[in-house]
Amino acid sequence: MSYSNIINAEIREDVGKGASRRLRRGGKVPAVIYGGDRDPVALTLDQDELLHAAEKEAFFSSVLEIQVGDKIRQQAVVRDMHRHPFKPLIMHIDFMRVSAKEAIRMSVPLHFVGEEESPAGKASGVVIQHQLTDVEISALPKDLPEFIAVDLSRMDAGDAVMLSDIQLPEGVVITALEGEAQDAAVANAIYISEDQGTGAAAAAEAEAAAADELAEAGAPTVEEEPEEGEEQPESDED
């Protein structure tokens, strides 16, 4: 791995909302580890160390080593994490223990490769759209990949790459393809007309056109503010 998957933790004796608030004020993160044949254990992690670890994509799709004190080390994966709505803080994190002999289900990111070199990528008037950014897989902990590569190098205009087209590492199964589940598109290459914009440009053009129609009808546009002293319409809300 390109980063350390060891997460240092301490046993947390004091639990509850008040205790969690005190921990956060002290630069700590309340956590819990559960699963397997052992009871859940409340933990405390360092806020700065956890933020640094969570910057890595692999943190959420890899088996981690939870180091508790000097002796206890448990293998686990991230099952849930809550961030502060607007501050760069992690409020709480849950880890689930894993067994080397039991397959686990995880969502792993998709990395698209070969897009620019593909016939569709070189064609004029063609856009390659990514329909999925991650996929749920099932694998033993030792076979769990940090990401799955999706090869688009042979993609031509009008083509679609399906889940069943992805070359998976040995021991990895896409759960959506198990049983009678239907295949799904991961990426497709579509034609666009010369006068059709995409993304933010198309949205801006649509907004401008709508504003012109409102102006022609005599209605105020979003940008127009009532003059000082001008009576504003009454609201139906209390």
Per-residue confidence (pLDDT) for residue 143, from 0 to 100:
95
Question: Cα–Cα distance between 132 and 58 in angstroms, integer?
Answer: 18
Contacts of 1 (CB under 8 A, 6+ apart): 58, 62, 146
CA 50 centroid distance within chain? 17
> Any bridge partners for residue 29, and if so which?
45
pLDDT at 188 exceeding the cut of 90: yes
Residue 32: its pLDDT value, please?
95
HSE (CB half, 13 Å, CA atoms) of 89?
15
The pLDDT of residue 182 is 81
Phi-psi region of 69 (alpha: psi -120 to 50; beta: other; left: phi over 0): left
Question: 229 is written with which tokens?
Answer: 């002293």
Mean pLDDT of the region 50-60: 94
Q: Is the pLDDT of residue 204 over 60?
A: no
Does position 34 have pLDDT exceeding 50, yes or no?
yes
What CATH number is given for 6-97 in this structure? 2.40.240.10
102-106, 175-179, 205-209, range with greatest mean pLDDT = 102-106
Mean local confidence (pLDDT), 226-235: 42
The DSSP symbol for 151 reads E
Cα separation of 145 and 158, whole Å? 30
Residue 15 is predicted with a pLDDT of 80
pLDDT recorded at residue 215: 56
pLDDT the model gives residue 72: 77
Give the mean pLDDT of 11-40: 89
Kindly tell me if the per-residue pLDDT of 144 is higher than 50.
Answer: yes
Q: CA 187 → CA 32, 110, 137, 215, distances in Å?
A: 37, 11, 18, 40
Asked if 168 and 197 touch (Cβ cutoff 8 Å), the reply is no
Which pLDDT score is estimated for 3? 54
Tell me the whole-structure pTM to 2 decimals: 0.73
According to CATH, what is the number of the domain 104-191?
2.170.120.20
Beta-strand runs (E) in 69-103? 72-83, 90-97
Mean pLDDT of the chain: 83
Sketch the domain layout of the chain as residue ranges.
Answer: 6-97, 104-191
